[in-house]
Amino acid sequence: MSRFTPPEVARFFRPARAASFPAVALAGGLAFALALPITPAQANGEINIYSYRQPFLLKPLLDAYEDKTGTKANVVYAAKGLAQRLEAEGEQSPADVVLTVDISRLSVLADKDLFAPISSAEIEKNVPAQFRHPEGKWTALSLRARVIAISKKAGDADKLKHDEDLATPAWKGRLCTRPGSHVYNRALLASVIAAHGVEEATAWAKGVVGNLARKPQGHDRAQAKAIMEGQCDVAIMNSYYMGKMMTSDKAEQKDWANAVNLIFPNQGDRGTHVNISGGGIVKTSKNKDEATRLLAFLTSPEAQRIYAETNFEYPVNPAVKPSETVKSWGAFTKDKLSIEKIAELSPTAQKVIDQTGW
């Protein structure tokens, strides 16, 4: 209200006499927006992927695929909600393939009937049946073990042989984990529920929470870091993070890795809990042959070697050996539990997590 008709304002609006201000502004905004790319029509020789894995992790695999087949892969990466996006998009969805980490996400997609059955003799040959959906709605692409990291300085490492031991009083005030509700811990707890039932698993989770040296926080690398810093002696982490830290070009990450030894728990009994990364073909895809070809490629020895060498995961294809770094931790027996059981028990596991405050 300082100046009722500033001359420069009057000049600014004079040319727009015929149109109202909102119309002018709206036109301007739309012009801006139209300069942005609109839905890319899918060209021949392209495939569209919704991914729960970060693009920089997928890049070496997709580059290799493009080199081999000439097909270019387009990726939308998101950490949450891709299932709902697919569901809402329905017939109009541009997606052909979904790639995920964690079995629960694959199961959600299969349960919502968003996947088409995969029919590929190659995939059936490459991937053991244990790591494929019974009706072929998804296939695992790599395996990761949930292992225990223990400080090299801890003198009593021999007392820690099972996930169950994490709840014993020996580790009071010495344990670090990320929050229980993270998918990796939730899946681990689901495997404990499968082995012992809800009641015993709840008591176990209570024991774990009681042993914590600090509030659950950080990611898996941060747990090794906390051990190096002396905040705790024991942590739970996914196996491939160890490989990533060991080969990191950052000296500090190597220090974190060097501070710990890995324990593959439950070797005497049910075996170490493993989880998968995997993929499936979108039911509404108009490009199912290409999608099948991509998934088959991802299970092939060539791609499995990339999973093994660049991401330090365990190949799902038994014909391919783990990387040298991963081999140096020793061989281990995997939990034989059906991987789908983990997904099925996930909601129960989350309830236990809520009850115990993990």
Partner 1 sequence: MVDAALSSSGTTGGSRSRGPLSRVDAWSVGAVILAGLLLLPVAAVVYAASGSSGDLWAHLATTKLPLYVGNTLALMVGVGVVAAVFGVSSAWIVYRYDFFGREVLQWILLLPAAVPAYIVAYTLTDFLEYAGPVQGLVRDVGGFSSAREYWFPEIRSLGGAVLVMGAVLYPYVYVMARTAFSQTPSSLYEVAIISDRSVFRTVALPMARPAIVGGLTLVLMETVSDFGTVEYFAVETLTLGIFNVWIGMHSLAAAAQIALVGFVFILVLLTIEQRARAERRFTDPASRALPLPRQKLSPLGTLGAIVACLLPIGIGFILPVSVLVGFILEGSSLAPNATMLAAAQNSIMLAGGMAILVVAMSAYLGIVATYRGGRRLRLLTQIASVGYAFPGAILAIGAVTVGGAFDALSVRVLSGGLGIETGGWLSGSIGLVMIACAVRFKAIGYGAVGAGLARVPENMMHASRTLGRGFAESTRRVVVPLLWRALLAGALLVFVDVMKELPMTLLLRPFGFETLPTFVYQYAKDELLEEAALPALAILVTGIIPVVLMNATLERLNRR
156 binds partner 1 (CB under 8 A): no
Angle between helices 103-111 and 82-89 (to 10 degrees): 20
Contacts with partner 1, 161-180, as mask; x by CB under 8 A: ------------------x-
Interaction with partner 1 in 19-38: which residues (CB under 8 A)? Answer: 20-22, 25-26, 28-30, 32-33, 35-38
81 binds partner 1 (CB under 8 A): yes
CA-based R_g, the chain, Å: 25
Q: Which range binds partner 1 by CB under 8 A, 74-82, 127-135, 197-205, 262-270?
A: 74-82
Q: What is the 3-state secondary structure (H, E, C) of 252-307?
A: HHHHHHHCEEEECCCCCCCCECEEEEEEEEECCCCCHHHHHHHHHHHHCHHHHHHH
φ and ψ of 274, to 5 deg? -120, 150
Q: Which of 252, 269, 302, 324 binds partner 1 (CB under 8 A)?
A: 252
CB of 184 to partner 1, least distance (A): 12
Q: How far apart are CA 224 and CA 84, in angstroms?
A: 35
Q: Which of 13, 172, 302, 333 binds partner 1 (CB under 8 A)?
A: 13
DSSP letter string, 54-89: -HHHHHHHHHHHHHHH-PEEEEEE-SS-HHHHHHHH
117 binds partner 1 (CB under 8 A): no
85 binds partner 1 (CB under 8 A): yes
Q: Which of 43, 44, 67, 91 binds partner 1 (CB under 8 A)?
A: 91
44 binds partner 1 (CB under 8 A): no
Q: How far apart are CA 82 and CA 94, in angstroms?
A: 12
Q: What is the dihedral of CA 184, 196, 358, 345, to 10 degrees?
A: 50
116 binds partner 1 (CB under 8 A): no
Of 12 and 125, which CB lies nearer to partner 1 in the complex structure?
Answer: 12
CB of 95 to partner 1, least distance (A): 8
Q: How far apart are CA 266 and CA 236, in angstroms?
A: 14
Q: List Cα–Cα distances, 262 to 68, 77, 170, 300, 303, in angstroms.
A: 37, 31, 18, 29, 26
89 binds partner 1 (CB under 8 A): yes
CB of 79 to partner 1, least distance (A): 7
Q: Which of 230, 269, 302, 327 binds partner 1 (CB under 8 A)?
A: 230
What is the residue whose two structure tokens read 């899946």? Answer: 187
CB of 229 to partner 1, least distance (A): 4
Interaction with partner 1 in 232-251: which residues (CB under 8 A)? Answer: 250
78 binds partner 1 (CB under 8 A): yes
Interaction with partner 1 in 175-214: which residues (CB under 8 A)? Answer: 179, 181, 183, 186, 214
**Dihedral (CA of 31, 33, 37, 41) sign:** negative
Of 75 and 120, which CB lies nearer to partner 1 in the complex structure?
Answer: 75
113 binds partner 1 (CB under 8 A): no
